[in-house]
Amino acid sequence: MNLAMYIVDAFAEERFKGNPAAVVPLTEWLPEDTMQAIAAENNLSETAFLVHQSDGRFHIRWFSPLSEIPFCGHATLASAYVLLNELGSIAPLVFHAKAVGDIVVRTAEDGLIAMRFPNRMPEAVPEPPADLLEGLGVAPVEVWRNGQAYIAVYAHANDVRALQPDMASLRRLAPLDVCVTAAGDAEGVDFVSRYFWPANGGFEDPVTGSIHAGLAPFWAARLGRNALRAMQVSARTGILYCGVDDEGITVAGKAVRYLRGVISLSG
């Protein structure tokens, strides 16, 4: 059996930036252990598998090298890019995932691909767990959390850039990951972030679309505006355009194809 596979740099305007995701379109689901093996072989933050259903929706599943992930933004953006630019689909697209329901994707100005996410506004954590504080090393100003991650807020963007967390401590926070964030310090950047997920995928995720369903409403409330430009300040960096309204969150970005290939599952 041969399967088409694409690798796309998501939330990037040029190759080797943003977050690379593999996209594997299917006619029917493969066995879970096979999908997990493919994701481990790819060794990217996520590999997305798609099945086009009779109702027009694309059912989507995301696998890190370690496990299946309930919600992934950058691999959804990569999947939309493949459908729109490689496979002839026309926007709007509707993806469906068990944990988040329908994700509607539209094209926007300047080549942006815009995804609609549920609002996952975090809640304050008055007494952060010791493993979080130990793992971060530098105490944050405050800590919040939603169903995906602890969100540690720092006073300055450079605090976020300089952080060197202890992964062993953060791994003990499973199943939650850890995001660190601060207000932006560059023109046109409203807030910055980094994302660590040793329990679910690896050391540091280059760009994490899903956590912006929580970061966007948090910073919208802090900054008093609902249209925000975010930068994830990992080594690869990535730009995300976020919007907040009464019905949910929009997270938009650009993408660039890096690879078009074939997976061989036969001998």
Q: Which residues are the active-site residues?
A: 46
Mind spelling out the 3-state secondary structure of 189-237? Answer: CCEEEEEEECCCCEEEECCCCCCHHHHHHHHHHHHCCCEEEEEECCCCC
For 64-86, give the DSSP string.
Answer: -SSSEES--HHHHHHHHHHHHHT
Q: Are 20 and 257 in contact (CB under 8 A)?
A: no
Q: What tokens does 267 get?
A: 């001998």
Separation between Cα atoms, residue 38 and residue 40, nearest integer Å: 5
Q: Are 62 and 44 in contact (CB under 8 A)?
A: no
195 to 69, 116, 158: CA distances (angstroms): 15, 21, 15
